[in-house]
Amino acid sequence: MLYPGVPRDWFRNRDGMGLWEGRGKVVATGVGTSPTARRWDEKPETSMGAMTIIAIRKAIADAGISPDEIDGLVLTPDSTTGVSNDPNNPPPPGWEQHFKMASFPQAGITRGDIDWILLNMPELKNVKFMMNGAICMSVSFVAAAEAVARGLTKTCLVVRGWHNLAGRYYVGVGASALNTASGRGKYGSIWGMPACGTTAMVFEEYCRKYGKSHDQMANFVVTQRRNGLMNPDGYYSQHRPEMIAVEDYLTARWIAKPANIYDNDLPIMAALAVVFTTPERARNHKQKPVYILSHGQTRPESPGITPTLEQWEQSTDRMGRILYEGAGVGPDDLAFENMYDGFTLFHQFHLEGLRFAARGEQRGYALDLYETDIGIEGPNPVSPSGGNNGNGRTRWWNHRDSILQLQGRSPSQIKKKAEIGVSGAPMPDACDALIWSATPPV
């Protein structure tokens, strides 16, 4: 059965919901990551669809199971938020000789599509449960967790691919070059803010309120790159293996001050697949199971064109409460946090909402924390995955690394014992997050 979206009653989006009913009933095992590329060269074998197939096959192999055992597939069909083809554009020459065509012409090119995957992966012959998790792979992780916990699938793939076509990112089929503006974007686009502008505005409010400065972000951004360069699957380690220094960050050109070029993540192509299953079935999997203790959701409630500091703080505070209530753990139980960084300037909202490494502080402490030892060797590993900032834009490096950390096989493995961690994405007021554990809940 194909579910076009996640049922609303699967979400945990308010206080007072208690322990998550699926707590300890779902685990992640196999992980598969495709190669990365900066942009698509229009060859079928390097398309987003091809990368997705690679990732799925690697995840199944990593789990050490047969494709026959896969009975569920949850996919985030949305791909890049940048340049997109007309959805009715035909595929490039040679495509139809390489792949079977689904009804959607751009399937596998600019959009993920479950039908397309199943057509082109005949080995997935037992998939019965199918669901789309819109916008962000975080939604798909949550959907798959609920689906396994509810018994709708026993062994489920969670999948997302990203494409990046040639051309300047987010110019949006030329709309930004027009002298008129239509659609909902017109309320903001006529003021010409780049995508990081909203985040930069709220960050500016944050710095003003708490007496912090943009320069205090430098160690975080440098550490992100360092962590990312440890990951052989990341874009930077594969294509631009150069470290950056604090000086690079402090002297970088502005995009929307106080956001500079290093505060923006690099759009890339890549795909990830993860195997979710039950603890019982995981006994036959090759990799150590990682338990999901809880998940949570926030969605924008701002009545204005851009959120405010207060709204982002309220939203991330609520996420922290929902996650901890559902998991039965607290901030002190977290060995690491892998919250989203796909603009670096909002990572601290997630971190503070979780009260990660807080010493009694409630808000306004994260930039001071960033200036301490936040690396993988230290007492407070912040974003050990390196995130989007250290690996390229996918919104899933953080989830992937949380699983690998708790399996003890992350390429940027933290030195302290990794027992419980958290990851979530994307925005401070539009987030899906999960708490993961190396062991079953007590």
Partner 1 sequence: MDAKCQTFLCDEALGDGTTDAGRQSLSQAITVDGRHRRMVLGGFQQQSKLAGVLYPTLEAKGTKDMSKQSPIPNALDKPFYDACNEERLVVQYCTNCRRYQFPPQSACTRCGNNASVEWRQLSGRGRIISRVVVHDTPTSSLIPGQPFNVAAIALDEDSEVIMLSHLPGTPVDQVPIGAAVEVIFETTPATGQKVPEWRVVG
Q: In 10 A of CB 251, how many CB atoms?
A: 9
Using CB under 8 A, which residues numbered 43 to 72 contact partner 1?
none
Q: Single out the segment in contact with partner 1 by CB under 8 A; choices: 112-120, 233-241, 263-271, 324-332.
A: 263-271
Count residues binding partner 1 (CB under 8 A): 74
Q: Which is nearer to partner 1, 238 or 308 (CB)?
A: 308
Q: Show the tokens assigned to 177.
A: 């070059």
Nearer to partner 1, 257 or 416 (CB): 257
Least distance in angstroms from the C-beta of 187 to partner 1 = 4
Select 174 or 360, whichever has its Cβ closest to partner 1. 174
For 282, other C-beta atoms within 10 Å of its C-beta total 24
- Choosing from 64, 94, 167, 379, the residue that interacts with partner 1 (CB under 8 A) is 167
Nearer residue to partner 1 within complex by CB, 70 or 221: 221
- Residues 217-246 interacting with partner 1 (rule: CB under 8 A): none
| Binders of partner 1 in range 102-141 (CB under 8 A) | 134-136, 139
Q: Site for partner 1 (CB under 8 A): which residue of 295, 393, 399, 400? A: 393
- Give the interface segment with partner 1, choosing from 80-88, 141-149, 331-339, 358-366 (CB under 8 A): 80-88
Cα separations in angstroms, 232 against 63, 339, 382, 395: 19, 20, 19, 17
For residues 177 and 442, which CB has a smaller minimum distance to partner 1 in the complex?
177
Work out which of 161, 267, 320, 384 binds partner 1, going by CB under 8 A: 267
Q: How far apart are CA 91 and CA 177, in angstroms?
A: 25
- Binding flag, residue 339, partner 1 (CB under 8 A): no
Q: Does 211 bind partner 1 (CB under 8 A)?
A: no
CB of 219 to partner 1, least distance (A): 19
Q: Are strands 155-162 and 270-277 parallel, antiparallel or unpaired?
A: antiparallel
Least CB distance to partner 1 at residue 182 (A): 5
- Interface with partner 1, residue 424, by CB under 8 A: no
Q: How far is CA 289 from CA 101, 132, 437, in A?
A: 36, 24, 9
Tell me the pairing of strands 290-298 and 259-260. Answer: unpaired
Distance CA 156, CA 55 (A): 14
Any contact of residue 173 with partner 1 (CB under 8 A)?
Answer: no
Task: Name the DSSP class of 172.
Answer: T
Reference 3, options 140, 170, 177, 122; nearest CA is 140
Whole-number Å distance between alpha carbons of 343 and 313:
16
List 130's β-bridge partners, or say none. 2, 73
Binds partner 1 by CB under 8 A, chosen from 14, 21, 125, 171 = 171
Determine, following the binding rule CB under 8 A, whether residue 364 of this chain makes contact with partner 1.
no
**Longest C-alpha distance within the chain, in Å?**
61
The token pair at 62 is 């990593």
Query: What is d(CA 442, CA 430) in angstroms, rounded to the nearest whole number?
Result: 30
Which residue, 6 or 357, has its beta carbon nearer to partner 1? 6
Q: How far apart are CA 72 and CA 146, in angstroms?
A: 12
Q: How far is the CB of 77 from partner 1 (least distance, A)?
A: 13
Among the listed ranges 23-31, 302-310, 366-374, 415-423, the one in contact with partner 1 (CB under 8 A) is 302-310
* Residue 349 to residue 223: CA distance in whole angstroms: 18
Answer for which of 43, 208, 240, 415 binds partner 1 (CB under 8 A) is 208
Q: Is 184 in the site for partner 1 (CB under 8 A)?
A: yes
Separation of alpha carbons 144 and 150, rounded Å: 10
